[in-house]
Structure 1
Amino acid sequence: MCATCGTQHAPSAAPPASCAICEDPRQWVPASGQQWTTMEALARRHVIGFREVAPDMLGLGMFPDFAIAQRALLLRTPAGNVLWDCVALLDPATVAIVKALGGIAAIAISHPHYYTSMVEWAQAFDCPVLLHAADRRWVMRPDPALRYWDGERREVLPGVTLHRLGGHYAGGTILHSAAGKGSILTGDIASVAPDRQHVSFMWSFPNWVPLPAAEVSRMGAVLDALDFDAVYGAWWDRVIPEGGKAAVRRSVDRYVAAVTGPGPLGD
């Protein structure tokens, strides 16, 4: 398992020579060099904590933080539970808790930085992992549980759909839930900003490489076609609980103005 991005690789007698996901210019390799760990080593130093994020939605995250430090979301629906994104650790306590909550009908992941230990999770809960086929080459541990989908939309369960947004990765995906006023789970494909009033879009976040204005306008059109009020990003505090659709519209307009306009947005 890569200690920088958390991606689990296929079993081998020795660690791989490198992590392709971290050597990609969207990510990074530490100055100290590539480092590796294992599930067993993680379990000695970390635990998974749960937090209610919204009614029928639980967050699962590693404490202390590991790698990119994202948290996953367990969306609970009458038709079954969906795990959105993934974390590197899976321990017996987590398996027992999630099974007591009804298990997992499907796992869906926004992009390769959050693939982590998806195969371990799929095997533990006997469920498929839905990945967009455009990002297939970034899978470091192939497994029959991985199901690749093409196109722009894929239904997971009634009222729960995946939409290809692109941008950060060609297959960058968000999840839309139609329950209540609607919500979107975006990872950092449309990343909730620290002010929790905007989202933003980047080709590389750690290396500060933006996306072209035309690409963000296209992404904004995809988002504008969905009905939603809340936006759930990749980290615990990155949530827009209401007014999310207006926030996304403002954010797209601001982004396009910032990268195409004649100068700074303001003093």
Structure 2
Amino acid sequence: MENYICVTCGTQFSEAVPASCPICQDERQYLPPGGQQWTTLARLRQQHRNSFRRKEPNLYGIGTVPDFGIGQRALLMRTPAGNVLWDCISLLDEATIDIIQGLGGLSAIAISHPHYYTTNVEWSRAFGNVPVYLHAADRQWVMRPDPVVQLWEGETLRLLDDLTLIRCGGHFDGGTVLHWPAGAEGRGALLTGDIIQVVPAQPFVSFMYSYPNLLPLSAAKVQHIVAAVEPFAYDRIYGAWWGRTTIQTGAKEGVRKSAERYIRLLAE
């Protein structure tokens, strides 16, 4: 049985032919004018490939060419305790597996929110059934349940070495970011997906309930996001995309100032 993948968001389902994609029918996402469309990994492998870019020592970006689904790229982090894949992309092929095995394989997968769940079970199985960490608050959006999926609860979770998953909420109830103390030459980095969205004006970020539909978050939810990451030391942020979605320095102050501006504008 082939597991079908939603063309719009890239999520893989356990059903052979799903009736629809609940993730795309949700008000944070959308279905295109042509309606629901499906594909499979076999078809993806015929038309797409993955590219790798070194972002800094021990951190690599992995993205699909040409873009597929939402178009995000994943991040592969190497640590003394093992490698972690942060966020996920739909395409997994033999070349990708070979390259990652050459970098030390995977010990865990962690994903920021349901828009990036994609084919996480396929990735886990390709690397020895490594655990996939998703926050339990988003359990309803797991479209391919599997024993490799670990639904964690609470506000933080230590992951391998000294990495920490931080529940921020906001975009989704279980919206998560990853703190990497060794990142940014030891100044600390946050891997945020689009739970904290890097914007072109550096070192600023933004926060949204829906990005494609331009639905804002409340002041209380923005304050909660900032409070969740405040205890952690970080100077750099890696967002979800190629291009200008990295804040190289000054990220923590940028998050504070961005939240103040956002909340001020909501009140006007």
TM-score (normalizing by structure 1): 0.95
Identical counterparts, % of pairs: 54
Instruction: Supply the AA of the counterpart residue of 1:5.
Output: C
d(CA) in 2 for partners of 1:221, 1:36: 39
Residue identity opposite 1:209 in structure 2: L
Aligned to 1:3: 7
Given candidates 72, 75, 78, the residue that maps to 2:74 is 72
2:57 is equivalent to residue 85 of structure 1: no
2:172 alignment counterpart:
169
In structure 2, the CA distance between the partners of 1:196 and 1:70, relative to structure 1 (3 Å rule), is farther
Q: Does 1:234 align with 2:236?
A: no
Question: 2:102 is matched by which residue type in structure 1?
Answer: A
Residue 181 (structure 2) aligns with: 178
* Partner Cα distance (1:159, 1:196) in 2: 28
Q: Post-superposition shift, 1:234? A: 0.3
**Per-residue deviation, 1:223:** 1.8
RMSD: 0.8
Residue of structure 2 in register with 1:29 after alignment: 31
Moved over 4 A (4+): none
CA contact (8 A) 2:163 2:178 kept: yes
SS in 1 for 2:171: coil
Greater alpha carbon shift after TM alignment, 190-199 vs 156-165: 190-199
Q: Alpha-carbon deviations, 1:104-141, whole Å to 9, x = none?
A: 11000000000000000000012110000000110111
Q: Which amino acid aligns with 1:185?
A: L
- Structure 1 residue corresponding to 2:259, chosen from 225, 230, 252: 252
> How far apart, in 1, do the equivalents of 2:207 and 2:110 lie?
20
1:223 matches 2:225: no
Query: What residue is the counterpart of 2:159 in the other structure?
Result: 156
Take 1:77 and 1:57, find their aligned partners in 2: how far apart are those partners? 9
SS in 2 for 1:154: strand
**Which amino acid letter does the alignment assign opposite residue 191 of structure 1?**
Q
Determine the C-alpha separation between the residues in 1 that align with 2:119 and 2:100.
Answer: 16
Partner amino acid, structure 2, of 1:197? P
Aligned to 1:128: 131
1:53 alignment partner in structure 2: 55
Shift of residue 209, structure 1, vs aligned partner: 0.5
Q: Deviations over 1:34-60 (max 9, x none)?
A: 000110111111000000111110000
Residue type of the alignment partner of 1:235: W
Structure 1 SS opposite 2:260 = helix
1:211 aligns with 2:214: no
Which consecutive residues of structure 1, in runs of 5 or more, have no partner in the other structure?
263-267
Q: Does structure 1 residue 202 correspond to structure 2 residue 208?
A: yes
- State the 1:11 CA deviation: 4.4
Matched, 1:101 2:107: no
What is the alpha-carbon distance in structure 2 between the residues aligned to residue 24 and residue 242 of structure 1? 35
SS in 1 for 2:190: strand
Q: Is the 2:203–2:249 contact (alpha carbons within 8 Å) kept by the matching residues of 1? A: no
